[in-house]
């Protein structure tokens, strides 16, 4: 059995880390903020961990811990200007944040290796560690989603003024969602750095931002399982479609379009809703819609 | 017995005097009415009370609490709940989830215990759920508990909004046209509930904004009438309805007839 899985370890790594990033993205969505800053937080976590581990000679675990703290802190800072914006303007501002970070990484060559990248990072992270980090993060998000924080996030996402009229302080939960998003992305950025021997600025640029966003849209935005499902599909898809390697990007794009058109809530959430409705119909509380 | 007191409250949008400064008292244990033709500024008054708009003049006090400058969420935490003229539910969330959010004011579990789902936070969620089911029962909505709120009929959505406001266990309840689009029989049922809310137990201060004159006169202990943002009459429902100024505002001048 192990022989079957072992060659695919790199794929598992990608799924676990990608899911971590997607969870960081999903948490701000859940709180109703259209921010795409996740890859920026991840870059901060990754470079912080790499610099502390390689240049300062710290223990890798301590490096990752500082990466989490840096992600959390930058999340707190970024939440202030983004709180003044709405919808697509938040997306543009957070995109600018990511691009500025990438530019800074390229600029500070002494610290980051600049365009040549940051190399000779010890590879100390195993797939198991990534798996545990992913499960722990999912568990945290499931638990907090079931309590008062989840209720406040849900209310804010659907109608912020109404949430406020019920006593929810929007600023507090906006800041909280960014702190969580930053910490989660910082964690997986740090782990990513300790897995891959090297880091480059492009790794955290526009393409990963799109991949993370796609994973959340594809998998589903509401349930914590959505990001895992979405990331898994996106990682495995190119493998399954190897015969179509030349058309990989086209297949990928087509799939996203199809999902958005026919499963607007993402794969997981749509199925969960269908099952929920079916249960209601069975219980006689909902009339079956014609054609479904 | 603290009541909600508005003193000299006015609102100006640029050059438009939306509400001319006026005084108002919403007393505990009573249903206070606020009526007036379309565009009279009734909803603006609710928005001023709940901190949606900043006051241009005057002050708002609830007992000893000064709400003049308070942002929305602090107004709610002080014990003021409102419903909206156009229903504003969380359409994707179930009925239970919608009402649960109203319990937010009573949340005591710390952020940390919520973050990690510690027993205190979980116990609170269970307690809230029980209370929500009590409310559902009272409004005869138990069968819709797991129904997405956006899929309910209009009247039922109104009920969900009402339950959500009541979940706050407010001391002041601001109802912005709660029976608009609901038939007379159903409206009368809701009216009974409002009456009970005002008189039973501690008694809430209820402000009822309404178009339906019959509904207002049958329920309200005291009525304020607004027209073009100006308070034109106040007093008992009977007095106000027969006030020539009010009749004129609603039906126009005799000379036009």
State pLDDT tens for residues A126-175: 889 999 999 999 999 999 988 889 999 999 998 898 999 999 999 999 99
In a domain, A216, yes or no: no
pLDDT in tens, A41-72: 999 999 999 999 998 889 999 999 999 999 99
- Give the number of residues written for chain B: 257
Q: Tell whether B147 lies on the interface with A, counting CB pairs under 8 A.
A: yes
pLDDT at A44: 96
pLDDT in tens, B197-209: 898 877 899 999 9
Q: Tell whether A167 lies on the interface with B, counting CB pairs under 8 A.
A: yes
pLDDT at B136: 92
In a domain, B150, yes or no: no
Distance, in Å, from the CA atom of A138 to the CA atom of B209, rounded to the nearest integer, reads: 46
In a domain, B228, yes or no: yes
**CB < 8 Å from B in window 232-291 of A:** 276, 279-280, 285-286
pLDDT band at A184 (very low <50, low <70, confident <90, very high): very high
Tell me what the pLDDT averaged over chain B comes to. Answer: 88
Distance, in Å, from the CA atom of A183 to the CA atom of A177, rounded to the nearest integer, reads: 10
**pLDDT higher than 80, residue A288:** no
Report, as an integer, the average pLDDT of B128-148.
90
In a domain, A135, yes or no: yes
Cα dihedral B6/B83/A34/A232 (nearest 10): 150
In a domain, B89, yes or no: no
Chain A residues with CB under 8 Å of B122 CB are 147
pLDDT at A236: 86
Mutate to test the interface with B, among A144, A151, A156 (most CBs of B within 10 A): A151
In a domain, A202, yes or no: yes
The number of folded domains in chain A is 1
Which chain B residue is nearest to residue A281, measuring alpha carbons?
Answer: B147
Percent of chain A with pLDDT over 70: 95
**pLDDT higher than 70, residue B255:** no
**pLDDT higher than 70, residue A2:** no
Q: Closest CB to B76: pick one of A158, A165, A280.
A: A165
pLDDT at B93: 85
Q: What domain range is B24 assigned to?
A: 4-79+170-251
Q: Which of B45, B49, B58, B143 is nearest to B96 (CA)?
A: B143
Q: Closest CB to A148: pick one of B52, B102, B107.
A: B107
Q: What domain range is A160 assigned to?
A: 9-211
> Are residues A170 and B73, on separate chains, in Cβ contact within 8 Å?
yes
Which chain B residue is nearest to residue A143, measuring alpha carbons?
Answer: B117
Q: Which of A207, A202, A226 is nearest to A215 (CA)?
A: A226
Cα dihedral A165/A170/A171/A172 (nearest 10): 110
In a domain, B50, yes or no: yes
**pLDDT higher than 80, residue B9:** yes
| Kind and range of the H or E run holding B166 | helix B154-167
Structure tokens at B108: 């005591």
pLDDT at A211: 87
**CB < 8 Å from A in window 67-126 of B:** 71-73, 75-77, 81-82, 84, 88, 90-93, 97, 100-102, 104-105, 107, 109, 111, 114-117, 121-122, 124-125
pLDDT at B50: 93
Structure tokens at A243: 């015969």
**pLDDT higher than 80, residue A244:** no
pLDDT band at A17 (very low <50, low <70, confident <90, very high): very high
**pLDDT higher than 80, residue B256:** no
Residue listed under structure tokens 């209601």 = A280
In a domain, A95, yes or no: yes
pLDDT in tens, B144-154: 888 888 888 88
In a domain, B162, yes or no: no
pLDDT at A291: 39
pLDDT band at B254 (very low <50, low <70, confident <90, very high): low
SS3 of residue B232 by DSSP: strand
The answer to whether ipTM exceeds 0.90 is no
pLDDT at A24: 96
**CATH code of the domain in which B239 resides:** 3.40.50.300
Chain A residues with CB under 8 Å of B151 CB are 286
**pLDDT higher than 60, residue B55:** yes
**pLDDT higher than 70, residue B96:** yes
pLDDT at A18: 94
Which of residues B31 and B92 earns the better pLDDT score?
B31
In a domain, B148, yes or no: no
pLDDT at A285: 65
In this structure, the strands spanning B80-82 and B172-176 are parallel
Q: Tell whether B3 lies on the interface with A, counting CB pairs under 8 A.
A: no
**pLDDT higher than 50, residue A111:** yes
In a domain, A223, yes or no: no
pLDDT at A10: 82
> Are residues B73 and A154, on separate chains, in Cβ contact within 8 Å?
no
**pLDDT higher than 80, residue A4:** no
In a domain, B212, yes or no: yes
Q: Tell whether A145 lies on the interface with B, counting CB pairs under 8 A.
A: no
Cα of A159 to nearest chain B Cα, Å: 7
Assess contact for B214 and B22: CB atoms under 8 A.
no
> Are residues B146 and A276, on separate chains, in Cβ contact within 8 Å?
yes
In a domain, A222, yes or no: no
The number of folded domains in chain B is 1
In a domain, B127, yes or no: no
Chain A residues with CB under 8 Å of B131 CB are none
In a domain, A163, yes or no: yes
Assess contact for B98 and B84: CB atoms under 8 A.
no
**pLDDT higher than 80, residue A292:** no
pLDDT at B257: 45
pLDDT at A289: 53
pLDDT band at A259 (very low <50, low <70, confident <90, very high): confident
Assess contact for B50 and A165: CB atoms under 8 A.
yes
pLDDT band at A231 (very low <50, low <70, confident <90, very high): very high
Report, as an integer, the average pLDDT of B98-123.
87
């Amino acid at each position: 059995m192990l022989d079957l899985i072992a060659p695919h370890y790199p794929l598992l790594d990608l799924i676990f880390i990608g899911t971590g990033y997607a969870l960081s993205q999903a948490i701000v969505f859940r709180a109703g903020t259209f921010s795409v800053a996740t890859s920026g937080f991840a870059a901060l976590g990754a470079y912080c961990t790499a610099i502390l581990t390689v240049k300062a000679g710290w223990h890798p675990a301590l490096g990752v811990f500082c990466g989490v703290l840096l992600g959390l802190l930058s999340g707190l800072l970024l939440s202030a200007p983004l709180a003044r914006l709405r919808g697509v303007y938040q997306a543009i501002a957070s995109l600018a944040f990511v691009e500025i970070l990438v530019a800074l990484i390229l600029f500070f060559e002494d610290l980051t290796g600049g365009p040549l990248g940051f190399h000779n990072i010890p590879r100390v992270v195993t797939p198991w560690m990534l798996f545990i980090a992913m499960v722990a993060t999912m568990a945290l998000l499931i638990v907090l989603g079931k309590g008062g924080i989840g209720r406040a996030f849900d209310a804010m996402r659907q109608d912020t003024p109404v949430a406020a009229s019920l006593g929810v302080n929007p600023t507090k939960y906006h800041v909280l969602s960014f702190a969580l998003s930053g910490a989660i992305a910082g964690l997986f950025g740090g782990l990513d750095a300790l897995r891959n021997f090297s880091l480059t600025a492009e790794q955290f640029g526009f393409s990963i931002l799109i991949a993370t966003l796609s994973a959340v849209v594809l998998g589903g935005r509401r349930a914590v399982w959505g990001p895992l499902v979405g990331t898994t599909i996106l990682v495995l898809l190119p493998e399954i479609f190897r015969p179509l390697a030349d058309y990989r990007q086209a297949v990928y794009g087509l799939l996203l379009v199809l999902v958005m058109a026919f499963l607007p809530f993402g794969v997981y959430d749509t199925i969960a809703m269908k099952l929920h409705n079916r249960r209601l119909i069975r219980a006689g509380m909902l009339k079956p819609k014609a054609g479904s | 017995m603290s009541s909600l007191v508005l003193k000299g409250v006015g609102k100006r949008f640029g050059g438009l005097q939306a509400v001319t400064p006026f005084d108002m008292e919403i007393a505990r244990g009573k249903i206070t009415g606020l009526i007036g033709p379309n565009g009279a500024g009734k909803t603006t008054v609710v928005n001023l009370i709940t901190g949606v708009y900043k006051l241009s003049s005057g002050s708002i006090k609830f007992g000893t609490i000064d709400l003049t400058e308070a942002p929305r969420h602090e107004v709610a935490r002080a014990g003021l709940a409102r419903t909206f003229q156009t229903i504003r539910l969380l359409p994707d969330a179930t009925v239970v989830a919608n009402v649960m959010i109203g319990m937010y004011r009573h949340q005591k579990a710390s952020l940390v215990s919520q973050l990690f789902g510690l027993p205190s936070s979980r116990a609170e969620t269970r307690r809230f759920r029980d209370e929500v089911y009590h409310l559902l029962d009272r409004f005869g909505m138990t069968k819709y508990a797991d129904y997405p709120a956006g899929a309910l009929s209009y009247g039922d959505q109104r009920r969900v909004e009402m339950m959500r406001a009541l979940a706050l266990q407010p001391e002041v309840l601001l109802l912005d046209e709660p029976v608009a689009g609901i038939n007379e029989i159903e409206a009368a049922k809701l009216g009974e509930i409002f009456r009970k809310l005002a008189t039973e137990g501690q008694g809430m201060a209820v402000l009822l904004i309404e178009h339906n004159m019959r509904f207002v006169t049958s329920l309200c202990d005291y009525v304020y009438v607004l027209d073009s943002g100006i308070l034109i009459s106040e007093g008992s429902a009977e007095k106000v309805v027969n006030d020539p100024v009010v009749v004129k505002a609603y039906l126009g001048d005799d000379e036009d007839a």
